Amino acid sequence: MTERISRYLREQQPETPCLVIDLDVVEHNFRRMRELLPAAHIFYAVKANPADKILGRLAALGSKFDTASRGEIELVQASGVAVDRISFGNTIKKEKDIAWAYQQGVRLFAFDSEAELQKLVRVAPGAKVFCRVLVDCGGAEWPLSRKFGCAPEMAKDLLRKAKQWGLDAYGISFHVGSQQTDLDQWDKALAQVSQMFFALAEDGVDLRMVNLGGGFPARYRAEVNGIEAYCEAVTRALVRHFGNRMPEVIIEPGRSMVGDAGVIQSEVVLVSR
């Protein structure tokens, strides 16, 4: 808890339960990540906390935004963000929502199945698309390996089809799991992804972007490695596996951007005996 939050709770005594966010912490987290990963495009994961003041502060700092629904896109737009700073990163979307987002001007979409790819072909012609692949989530408090993503061979086949069907086969994304504490997982994932890049290039599919997803942990009560350790691990892995063929890099921080910026205050109303 920051001193500003402590003072606010002490002086204002708001009704409970309440969530109080220190926007200066959010800004510090964003600026620190941008300093440590200067070449990466930071897309804040709106689902982590879609509060308008958080979106507004990050928008003013130049953040881009990863959205998972039409509602999240509308929230970001309400903060004055141009649509070219928005990614529709949910791999399973209603076709009507894809069409709506495309009409709004969104041009960056995720997928992990042929059915989703076919929706994009129908209602988002020429859009930039990236395929989410399954990677090892060992070490994460919330593994996501069974929920999103497809096997590497399937992903390569889908990206070939994306190009054949008129979409811009832009890149590959992965997620090493939420609240990931194992620094080696990014190296393992990027080793796998780089081989996919090079194999697809031989087939005439020139991918240009790797999306690292999220996973950087936030500090709650237990201590975790600082953001510096994670950014250094990511940078080393990118250089090791891509060398002078470095793609564009996207990162989608959520928890690590806002998790340590706020406190929920509640009260015990009754103790059962």
Show the 3-state SS of 135-191.
CCCCCEEECCCCCCCECHHHHHHHHHHHHHCCCEEEEEECCCCEEECCCHHHHHHHH
**Cis, peptide link before residue 247, omega less than 30° from 0:** no
Q: What 3-state DSSP class applies to 198?
A: helix
Active site residue 95: no
What does the pLDDT look like over 8-19, one tens digit per residue? 999 999 999 999
Distances (CA, A) of 262 to 19, 109, 193: 7, 30, 35
Distances (CA, A) of 115 to 90, 92, 111, 158, 264: 14, 9, 9, 10, 40
Residues contacting 92, CB < 8 A, separation 6+ = 113, 116
Distance, CA of 12 to CA of 35 (rounded, Å): 35
Q: What is the mean pLDDT of residues 54-71?
A: 98
Tokens of 246: 């470095």
Q: What is the mean pLDDT of residues 75-104?
A: 98
Locus of tokens 């031989």: 202
Which among 114, 178, 186, 124 is positioned nearest to 150, based on CA atoms? 114
CA dihedral of 33, 36, 42, 48, whole degrees rounded to 10: -30
Residues contacting 39, CB < 8 A, separation 6+ = 246, 249
Query: Residue 232: what residue type?
Result: E
Spot the catalytic one: 93, 116, 241, 252. Answer: 252
Domains of the chain, earliest start first? 22-265 (3.20.20.10)
Q: Which residue has the higher pLDDT, 143 or 45?
A: 45
How sure is the predictor about 27, in pLDDT bands with cuts at 50, 70 and 90?
very high
**pLDDT value of residue 30:** 97
Distance, CA of 73 to CA of 133 (rounded, Å): 24
Spot the catalytic one: 47, 161, 163, 188. Answer: 47
Tokens of 105: 């001007």
Active site residue 252: yes
Query: Is pLDDT of 219 > 80?
Result: no
**pLDDT value of residue 142:** 45
Alpha helices (H) along the chain:
3-12, 23-36, 52-60, 70-78, 95-104, 114-123, 152-164, 184-202, 227-242, 255-258
Spot the catalytic one: 41, 93, 175, 241. Answer: 175
CB atoms within 10 A of CB 22: 20
Distance, CA of 173 to CA of 188 (rounded, Å): 14
**pLDDT value of residue 200:** 98
**pLDDT value of residue 129:** 99
Distance, CA of 66 to CA of 158 (rounded, Å): 22
Lowest mean pLDDT: which of 3-12, 26-35, 104-113, 143-152?
143-152
Lowest mean pLDDT: which of 38-42, 207-211, 212-216, 221-225?
221-225
